[in-house]
Homo-oligomer: A and B are copies of this chain.
């Protein structure tokens, strides 16, 4: 395969771009900032969707679909919301093209100007809460537990495949509740759903926490988050769950009649994860040979590569390969048999390594004679000769082992990269040289947070949930502090 190998250790960013391209995950499109998600990348995203969707439904949510466009005036209704999104909105101003009579070129028809401009949704709180006004009259209409799978657009100048693109795919949950307590419980429940998904499916350990006011979603009273740590020591926000209070209910006048026959504003949450998770996945496990996929997400969990030279060998080997394929498939394993005869086994090995297939089974004539196969695992690159007896169970077990190992490896890395510091010099030193999360006392002010960001590019990733409280002094200002928070440079 003609792939320019780029080492993680030499240029992490170039390694990432190279991997996304050559593993056929995604590419830049002709439209600035928008990506094409290629079939292999999309298949991984579909598995993520299925796993998340199942969890949403199990927790009582239903899917629905709201318009792509949001009237400009809706944005103005929640002040901090518009502040947050105004600078990155794609705006539709016209609804027709025409042929210019002089140049014969296709131009925007000036007669087809919209009375009110439409914004391509960067997030859907405003259009959804405008709709909820008609859906909610009484406490009997609550809660509303809705999720939407959709594309959204936030105009970005500096884009990075999966991590930061102008258009991306995501899900956004929008729920409405009678009480603040219930809304907060929902916010926390969905954070747990995200954490469970990240750790058990993506095999990425996450820290659950709350954002500081500076880092909150535009329009939220509280933003909960899960934060992952990538292999280069930078943090990645992998999902957020917002307690929106009554902000959107007030902006869109959504009230309900209580059991006691009073009228109250409705309480809201919203929560979302996006194709950014693909970035988290890639940057948590992959290596210089290519992608490494946790088995629960892998579109192909096991690939069988038959090895033969002569025609006589071929039928012998293929017979066994077919049998293994059928047995593994029958057990519900996503298995592929690569019987192409115009590519060498070596070529195939490299290709499936690049694509992160967790387990490779090779079978040659001698294996057939011996009743064995050669099994290679992608995560540790270990190879072993395995007797064919009880093969399916052994492979199932191996897949579970790989899933667990990937998680444990990522967890070990993260554990090593949470460093408690007590001085400003230490803070800067760890951040620059060791990288990862820095656990430090902070005086709780936005000013200090801002100054630390300006001087070091580190942000407060979160105040971990159930944080241990302890007396201390702010690592930057020296003012009193009651707890440590987690700083890091982040994507």
Chain B residues with Cβ below 8 Å from A75 are 97, 106
Q: A112-133 vs B: 1/0 string, CB under 8 Å?
A: 0000011110000001001100
For the complex, is A151 an interface residue (Cβ under 8 Å from B)? Answer: yes
- Given A69-B167, A120-B120, A151-B151, verify A64-B92 contact (CB < 8 Å): no
Q: Which of A31-54 contact B (CB under 8 A)?
A: 31, 34-39, 42-43, 46
- Which residue of chain B has its CB nearest to the CB of A82? B106
A393 CB, nearest partner CB in chain B, Å: 27
Stretch in A83-91, A367-375, A448-456 touching the partner: A83-91
Q: A5-49 vs B: 1/0 string, CB under 8 Å?
A: 000000000000000000000010111001111110011001000
B68 and A92 within 8 A (CB): no
Pick the residue among B31, B37, B64, B71 that contacts A118 (CB under 8 A): B31
Pick the residue among B88, B99, B117 that contacts A108 (CB under 8 A): B117
Q: Which of A346-379 contact B (CB under 8 A)?
A: none
Chain B residues with Cβ below 8 Å from A36 are 64-67, 131
The CA-CA distance from A96 to B106 in the complex, in Å, is: 24
Chain B residues with Cβ below 8 Å from A71 are 30-31
Chain B residues with Cβ below 8 Å from A386 are none
For the complex, is A258 an interface residue (Cβ under 8 Å from B)? Answer: no
Pick the residue among B42, B74, B146 that contacts A39 (CB under 8 A): B146
- Given A36-B64, A68-B151, verify A30-B127 contact (CB < 8 Å): yes
- Which residue of chain B has its CB nearest to the CB of A146? B39
A91 and B90 within 8 A (CB): no
Pick the residue among B34, B37, B89, B151 that contacts A96 (CB under 8 A): B89
Chain B residues with Cβ below 8 Å from A153 are 68
Choose among A93, A95, A105, A127 the residue with the greatest number of B CB atoms under 10 Å from its CB: A95
- Given A31-B127, A97-B119, A127-B31, verify A86-B106 contact (CB < 8 Å): yes
A87 and B96 within 8 A (CB): yes
- The bracket for how many chain A residues form the interface is 35 or more
A212 CB, nearest partner CB in chain B, Å: 25
For the complex, is A63 an interface residue (Cβ under 8 Å from B)? Answer: yes
Chain B residues with Cβ below 8 Å from A131 are 29-30, 36
Chain B residues with Cβ below 8 Å from A89 are 95-97
B68 and A167 within 8 A (CB): yes
For the complex, is A94 an interface residue (Cβ under 8 Å from B)? Answer: yes
Q: A313-336 vs B: 1/0 string, CB under 8 Å?
A: 000000000000000000000000
A137 CB, nearest partner CB in chain B, Å: 13
For the complex, is A169 an interface residue (Cβ under 8 Å from B)? Answer: yes
A62 and B90 within 8 A (CB): no
- Given A96-B86, A106-B76, verify A34-B69 contact (CB < 8 Å): yes
- Which residue of chain B has its CB nearest to the CB of A69? B31
Choose among A30, A82, A120 the residue with the greatest number of B CB atoms under 10 Å from its CB: A30
Q: A267-287 vs B: 1/0 string, CB under 8 Å?
A: 000000000000000000000
- Which residue of chain B has its CB nearest to the CB of A133? B30
A70 and B37 within 8 A (CB): no
B72 and A106 within 8 A (CB): yes
Pick the residue among B87, B96, B155, B169 that contacts A155 (CB under 8 A): B96
For the complex, is A397 an interface residue (Cβ under 8 Å from B)? Answer: no
Closest 10 pairs (CB-CB, A-B): A34-B67, A39-B62, A37-B65, A86-B97, A95-B155, A91-B94, A31-B67, A93-B93, A76-B106, A29-B67
Beyond contacts A39-B62, A76-B106: 19 other A-B pairs, Cβ-Cβ < 8 A, are A29-B67, A29-B127, A29-B131, A30-B130, A31-B71, A31-B127, A37-B64, A39-B63, A39-B146, A42-B62, A68-B120, A69-B167, A75-B97, A75-B106, A82-B97, A86-B96, A87-B96, A95-B155, A97-B119
A–B Cβ pairs within 8 angstroms, 10 of them = A29-B66, A30-B74, A31-B127, A43-B62, A68-B153, A87-B98, A89-B95, A90-B92, A90-B94, A92-B120
